[in-house]
């Protein structure tokens, strides 16, 4: 089971552990948060330096940086965002924002781009962004699906949905 609410994980330090414990206890199945899925996916890719391209406000991006660096040992080399203050605003944003941000934020030191925001429409753009920057792009929904495939021991690649789901590292 995966809780697809990444910004909730940016709350108190114990949020992920407490929430996943309660979810597993209540359902009897392995559980994680989508923010954990992003961290696990970045690690499975072997990326140590990432960029965050996020629909969120500067404050939320700062908390996301701290979360990634403190919990998953990755360095956030660059960040760009679009100022959304709630999830309803995110779903109305155009993919033109991250598409324009990818070349601005991309640097040789970056090993993967992370695009959080569950309501952010990203699926159909992942492959193009990866081709544009020549590195893996990890989105929240993609990472959650990858993590659940790992729990279910499903190893059938999903072409066209980005490097993570095409190659299934760690699954």
Which residue, chain included where needed, has tokens 């940086």? 65
- Distance between CA atoms of residues 13 and 2, nearest Å: 18
For residue 57 the two structure tokens come to 């406000």
> Residue 112 belongs to a domain with what CATH number?
3.40.50.12500
Q: State which residues form the domain around 139.
A: 2-167
Instruction: Kindly give the pairing relationship between strand 112-115 and strand 75-84.
Output: unpaired
User: How many domains would you assign to the chain?
Assistant: 1
**Cα three-residue angle 92-145-128, rounded to 5 degrees:** 60
- List the alpha helices (DSSP H) in 73-169: 87-91, 96-105, 126-133, 140-151, 163-167
pTM of the complete model: 0.86
- Distance between CA atoms of residues 144 and 127, nearest Å: 17
User: Could you give phi then psi for residue 105, rounded to 5 degrees?
Assistant: -90, -20
- Distance between CA atoms of residues 113 and 128, nearest Å: 13
Number of Cα atoms under 13 Å in the Cβ half of residue 121: 10
Q: What is the pLDDT of residues 58-105, one digit of tens each?
A: 887 888 888 889 889 999 999 887 766 656 666 666 677 777 888 888
Distances (CA, A) of 134 to 39, 58, 141, 163: 20, 26, 21, 10
- Distance between CA atoms of residues 108 and 88, nearest Å: 34
- Per-residue tens of pLDDT for the chain, all 171 residues: 887 776 666 776 788 888 889 998 999 999 888 888 999 999 999 999 999 887 777 887 888 888 889 889 999 999 887 766 656 666 666 677 777 888 888 999 999 999 887 666 778 889 998 999 999 999 988 999 999 999 999 999 999 999 999 999 987
User: Could you give phi then psi for residue 114, rounded to 5 degrees?
Assistant: -115, 130
């Amino acid at each position: 089971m995966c809780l697809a609410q990444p910004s909730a994980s940016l709350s108190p330090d114990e949020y992920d552990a407490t929430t996943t414990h309660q979810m597993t206890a209540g359902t009897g199945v392995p559980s994680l948060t989508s923010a954990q899925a992003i961290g696990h996916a970045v690690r499975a890719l072997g990326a140590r330096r990432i960029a965050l391209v996020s629909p969120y406000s500067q404050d939320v991006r700062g908390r996301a940086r701290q979360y990634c660096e403190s919990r998953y040992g990755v360095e956030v080399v660059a960040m760009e965002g679009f100022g959304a203050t709630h999830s309803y605003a995110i779903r109305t944003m155009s993919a033109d924002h991250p598409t324009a941000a990818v070349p601005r934020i991309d640097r040789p030191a970056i090993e993967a781009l992370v695009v959080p925001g569950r309501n952010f429409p990203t699926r159909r753009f992942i492959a193009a962004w990866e081709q544009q920057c020549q590195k893996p792009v990890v989105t929240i929904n993609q990472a959650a699906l990858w993590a659940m495939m790992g729990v279910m021991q499903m190893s059938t690649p999903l072409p066209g949905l980005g490097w993570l789901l095409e190659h299934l590292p760690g699954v």
